[in-house]
């Protein structure tokens, strides 16, 4: 991406805007754990937040539309016997979530479609193999029913949830604690950041280390695939104790492509990458700001765009999948910031500033990953690799499998898919008026719904004139105007 084409990009002026108080989530007893995890997971239906709990571990699951104050008596998922350290939603099932805990277990839970009405105690899967507390979990990006876990015993397990409760793959290549796990787009490679300051690229089926790097001036804490650019990004601290991010060539980890210092903070920098827009977001734990950049495959690789600033520090972050964004306001990314000091979960939207139009903005919403698996767990374990199925955010779109030929129809080609869950206009968020006793619903016929607004107003005036026996207005077909 040249400097000229970068400035012509529609994402050059992306701005971040936090939700107003009425559209945030108040009264959450957010965990005070010092573990460097997100503690929040989001999908278009539910939000899961790890909470404080005496005598065990718990997390709360609330509806995305349940804004405002959350009752302290709200039902929770409380089947762990120690503090919960991480939660992740199944990318292919909005009703299934996995959690890991200091009690050395990984549990999988099924959430009712209407949400929790009572405390959930019994998981659908209880995975017992780690000998020490489990710190990280990660779902496979394209295969169904595959879950990865990492613990303080320095082991990484792959679980197959549609069969036995024992790990199908054990990776023993780390001698110290694994700090971060990241799959590439098709799940054929696994990148890890370890406490020994090394970055490893591993073949996840066999556990074989393909590449290993230890850069003397970079203490890595987080790792992330920039798979469409064939790069890796890591965040951590320099030898001068400066927070920094580093870009690596995926084919050669002997020397970084770019090394850039950020500040002298002490919190972990969480990286988030949007391959659809080629934008990188860097959010520090304990910071109130979020930096965002445009990333390209040519030098200087990274272009600083802007920075969202807030006086409230964030202790964790959740990210809404693309299919849950509000396309009516050209929203391209949405965080959910955990503000522990306020017991608040605050949505933060990044939007492209442009006037609303009736058409679908295809230039800022390319085909994106769908919530359908590309293959089964058995197919992946047998050696197959498939990229994610793609979908358009245009309402009533169909799934697209990039691996299929033109003569092979997609499995869901004839199934009408529901439109994405569109939230209220982020610029005019108010309390939900439908909860008022004075709220009344209405409907229009199919013919009226398809008619333009000007035609509906003309029809209404003609009916009114007929009822009160006034002279009917004359209509000009060319200008769509009328006069008495």
* Mean pLDDT, rounded, for 327-334: 94
Lowest mean pLDDT among 43-57, 182-196, 466-480: 466-480
Answer yes or no: are the C-beta atoms of 133 and 82 closer than 8 Å: yes
What does the pLDDT read at residue 357? 64
* CA–CA–CA angle 261, 278, 259 (5° rounding): 20
Lowest mean pLDDT among 138-147, 172-181, 308-317, 426-435: 426-435
* Mean pLDDT, rounded, for 24-33: 94
Average pLDDT, the chain: 84
Lowest mean pLDDT among 296-305, 324-333, 427-436, 464-473: 427-436
Percent of the chain with pLDDT over 90: 71
Q: Which residues pair with 14 in a beta bridge?
A: none
479 has pLDDT over 70:
no
> Is this model's pTM higher than 0.85 or not?
no
Burial class (CB in 10 A: 0-12, 13-18, 19+), 267: middle
pLDDT in tens, 308-320: 999 999 999 999 9
- In Å, what is the CA distance from 124 to each residue of 89, 101, 116, 150, 476? 14, 16, 15, 20, 66
Tokens 């903005």 sit on residue: 361
* Mean pLDDT, rounded, for 288-293: 96
1 has pLDDT over 60:
no
6 has pLDDT over 70:
no
- Half-sphere exposure (Cβ direction) of 209: Cα atoms closer than 13 Å: 12
283 has pLDDT over 90:
yes
Helix (H) or strand (E) holding 466: helix 453-468
Positive or negative CA dihedral for 283, 82, 89, 422? negative
Contacts of 231 (CB under 8 A, 6+ apart): 225, 247, 248, 249, 250, 257, 295, 297, 301
Token readout for 219 is 């203490």
What does the pLDDT read at residue 136? 97
* Mean pLDDT, rounded, for 440-452: 37
| 403 — pLDDT class (breaks 50, 70, 90) | low
* Mean pLDDT, rounded, for 283-304: 94
pLDDT in tens, 35-47: 999 999 999 999 9
| 11 — pLDDT class (breaks 50, 70, 90) | confident
Helix (H) or strand (E) holding 380: helix 377-381
pLDDT in tens, 204-223: 999 999 999 878 889 999 99
Tokens 């650019």 sit on residue: 229
Rounded Cα distance between 416 and 227, Å, is 30
Lowest mean pLDDT among 132-136, 147-151, 454-458: 454-458
What does the pLDDT read at residue 355? 78
Q: Which of 80, 75, 123 is nearest to 100 (CA)?
A: 80
């Amino acid at each position: 991406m040249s400097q000229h084409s970068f400035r012509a990009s529609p994402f050059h002026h992306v701005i971040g805007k936090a939700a107003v108080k009425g559209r945030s989530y108040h009264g959450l007893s957010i965990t005070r754990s010092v573990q460097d995890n997100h503690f929040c997971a989001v999908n278009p239906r539910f939000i899961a937040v790890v909470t404080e709990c005496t005598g065990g571990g718990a997390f709360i699951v609330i509806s995305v539309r349940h804004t405002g104050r959350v009752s302290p008596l709200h039902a929770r998922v409380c089947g762990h016997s120690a503090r919960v350290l991480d939660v992740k939603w199944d990318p292919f099932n909005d009703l299934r979530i996995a959690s890991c805990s200091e009690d050395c277990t990984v549990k999988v839970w099924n959430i009712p479609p209407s949400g929790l009405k009572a405390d959930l105690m019994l998981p659908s899967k209880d995975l017992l193999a780690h000998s020490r507390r489990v710190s990280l979990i990660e779902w496979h990006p394209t295969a169904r029913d595959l879950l990865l876990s990492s613990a303080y015993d320095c082991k990484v397990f792959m679980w197959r949830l549609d069969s036995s409760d024992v790990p199908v793959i054990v990776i023993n290549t780390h001698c110290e604690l694994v700090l971060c796990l990241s799959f590439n787009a098709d799940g054929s490679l696994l990148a890890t950041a370890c406490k020994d300051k090394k970055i490893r690229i591993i073949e996840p089926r066999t556990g074989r280390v393909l590449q290993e790097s230890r850069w003397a001036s970079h203490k890595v804490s987080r790792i992330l695939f920039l798979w469409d650019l064939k790069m890796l990004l890591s965040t951590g601290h320099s030898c001068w104790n400066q927070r920094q991010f580093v870009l690596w060539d995926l084919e050669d980890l002997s020397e970084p492509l770019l090394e850039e210092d950020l500040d002298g903070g002490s919190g972990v920098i969480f990286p988030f990458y949007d391959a659809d827009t080629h934008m990188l977001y860097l959010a520090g734990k304990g910071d109130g700001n979020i930096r965002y950049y445009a990333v390209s495959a040519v030098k200087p690789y990274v272009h600083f765009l802007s920075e969202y600033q807030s006086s409230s520090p964030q202790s964790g972050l959740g990210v809404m999948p693309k299919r849950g964004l509000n396309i009516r306001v050209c929203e391209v990314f949405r965080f959910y910031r955990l503000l522990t000091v306020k017991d608040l979960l605050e949505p933060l939207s990044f939007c492209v500033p442009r006037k609303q139009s009736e058409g679908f903005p295809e230039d800022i919403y390319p085909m994106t990953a769908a919530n359908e698996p590309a293959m089964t767990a058995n197919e992946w374990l047998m050696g197959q690799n498939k990229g994610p199925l793609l979908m358009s955010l245009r309402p009533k779109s169909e799934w697209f499998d990039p691996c299929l030929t033109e003569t092979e129809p997609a499995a869901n080609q004839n199934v009408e898919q529901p439109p994405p869950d569109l939230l209220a206009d982020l610029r005019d968020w108010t309390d939900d008026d439908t909860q008022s006793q004075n709220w009344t619903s209405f409907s229009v016929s199919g013919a009226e719904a398809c008619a333009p607004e000007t035609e509906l107003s003309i029809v209404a005036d003609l009916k009114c004139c007929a009822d009160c026996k006034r002279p009917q207005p004359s209509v000009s077909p060319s200008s769509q105007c009328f006069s008495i």
